[in-house]
Structure 1
Amino acid sequence: MLFHYHFWTPYVEETEKFYKNIGFRISQRIGKYQGDFQAFNPPLTWDDFRDKSIIFRIIEARKGAINITFGYGKKIKFDHIGFLVSENEQNIICEKADKMNWTVAKGERRTFITTPYHFRIELQTSEDIVDSMNDNIKIQKLKLETKRKGLEDDLSILFGTPIKNIQTIIGNTVTITEAVIKDSLPKKLVDPNGVIISNESLHSI
């Protein structure tokens, strides 16, 4: 199940505010302060630490079966998308990635696969990474811009089935241009990192 994407961005506070305004809850904030990584989780608000020059490594926003993370970067950069899979599925996918000569970095809680398309794929096996497995709120489709052709075919090989909720266009950058979610958004919106957020009933890609 496609559940996740991650960006680096200079607009960390603005990105958090955007997703909170469309119903996401902030589950954690981890940032580097005075040389150490520390938690600044809710109920703390930005008014509690805005003047402390924290470099946020990760802020996590959750809603239903969606998990979106972002951290500080000097410029906007799309880093990875994430799929929730079983342990058996993860092992099979990793074996296929090895055969495709894609780099696999296995961890206890998550695994990252580096693609030749200049972004990574996260494989997550723990359902507690999302608030709910309810299909009423989930990522319906992601539209990705890439610099080279072949991503959709390669994803079909990697996962052993067509990944119909990933659609690509060829362009001059690597990013997510649109996220269609199964939710009750009244209109299309654009997050601070240029991602169009739309409702499946309002727009189909």
Structure 2
Amino acid sequence: MLFHYHYWTPYLEETEKFYKKQGFKVHQRLGKYKGEFQSFNPPLDWDDFRSKVILFRIIEMKKGLVNITFGMGKRVKFDHIGFLLSKEEHDQVCLNAQALNWGVKITERRTFITTPYGFLIELQTHTDVIELEDRTFIKRLKILTKKKGLENDLEKLFGTPIESVASMGGEKVTIREAVIEGLPDRKTTDPNEVTLLNEVGI
């Protein structure tokens, strides 16, 4: 199940505020302050630490079956998408990635696969990355890539067509559209130029 995407961005506070308006909740803020990583999680808000020079590594937000993260970057950069799998599915996808000669980095918490399309794929087996209080979910991501063949390679990677990801040619690698069912707005664009669509009722 496609559940996640991550961006590096200079627009941290603006991105958090945007997704809050769409019903997402902040679950963690982790950043380096005075040389050490520290948590700035809720109930802390931006007014509590705005005056501090914090290099945020990750801000994590959740709504239903959707998990969105972002961290400090000098410019907007799409980093990865994430799939939630069983342990058996995870292990098979890793074998498939090796057959494709794609890099595989397995850690205790998650696995990253390096694709030739300019972004990573995260494999996640821990269900605490999502919440089940509502059924908000990512129906489809439209990803701009400079290289053709993403859909075919995803089918080889997962052993089945991945209908939740579509690609189109572009001058940069980014998410053009995220169709997310369960949002309050039918169409809106986040500070990183990702257009969010809710097709229900359209």
CA distance in 1, matches of 2:65, 2:104: 25
Is 1:155 matched up with 2:186?
A: no
CA distance in 2, matches of 1:25, 1:127: 17
Q: Which moved more, 1:9-18 or 1:194-203?
A: 194-203
Q: Contact 2:22/2:183 (CA < 8 Å) preserved in 1?
A: no
Is 1:47 matched up with 2:47?
A: yes
CA, structure 1 residues 184+117, in 2 after alignment: closer, same or farther (shift >3 Å)?
Answer: closer
CA distance in 2, matches of 1:6, 1:171: 19
SS at match of 2:51: helix
C-alpha displacement of 1:200 = 2.2
C-alpha RMSD over aligned residues: 1.1
SS at match of 1:57: strand
Q: Deviations over 1:46-105 (max 9, x none)?
A: 000001010100000100000000000000000000000001100000001001000000
CA, structure 1 residues 187+133, in 2 after alignment: closer, same or farther (shift >3 Å)?
Answer: closer
Equivalent in the alignment of 1:32: 32
Between the aligned residues of both structures, percent identity stands at 58
CA distance in 2, matches of 1:202, 1:7: 29
Residue 108 of structure 1 aligns with an amino acid whose one-letter code is E
Equivalent in the alignment of 2:169: 170
SS at match of 2:172: coil
C-alpha displacement of 1:133 = 7.8
Equivalent in the alignment of 1:192: 191
TM-score (norm. length: structure 2)? 0.98
Structure 2 residue runs without a partner (length 5+): none
Q: Contact 1:185/1:198 (CA < 8 Å) preserved in 2?
A: no
Q: Deviations over 1:14-48 (max 9, x none)?
A: 00000001100000000010000100000000000
The 5 Å alignment of 1:82-97 reads: 82-97=82-97
CA distance in 2, matches of 1:133, 1:178: 25
Q: Deviations over 1:152-182 (max 9, x none)?
A: 0000000000000101000100000110011
Equivalent in the alignment of 1:143: 142
Equivalent in the alignment of 1:105: 105
SS at match of 1:74: coil
Q: Contact 2:186/2:199 (CA < 8 Å) preserved in 1?
A: no
SS at match of 1:197: strand
Q: Contact 1:9/1:193 (CA < 8 Å) preserved in 2?
A: yes
CA distance in 2, matches of 1:128, 1:95: 25
Q: Contact 2:117/2:150 (CA < 8 Å) preserved in 1?
A: yes
Equivalent in the alignment of 1:62: 62
TM-score (norm. length: structure 1)? 0.96
Residue 84 of structure 1 aligns with an amino acid whose one-letter code is L
SS at match of 1:164: coil
Residue 146 of structure 2 aligns with an amino acid whose one-letter code is K
Residue 85 of structure 2 aligns with an amino acid whose one-letter code is V
C-alpha displacement of 1:185 = 2.4
SS at match of 1:52: coil
Which consecutive segments of 4 or more residues in structure 1 shift more than 6 A?
none
Q: Contact 2:10/2:74 (CA < 8 Å) preserved in 1?
A: yes
Residue 167 of structure 1 aligns with an amino acid whose one-letter code is A
CA distance in 2, matches of 1:202, 1:158: 33
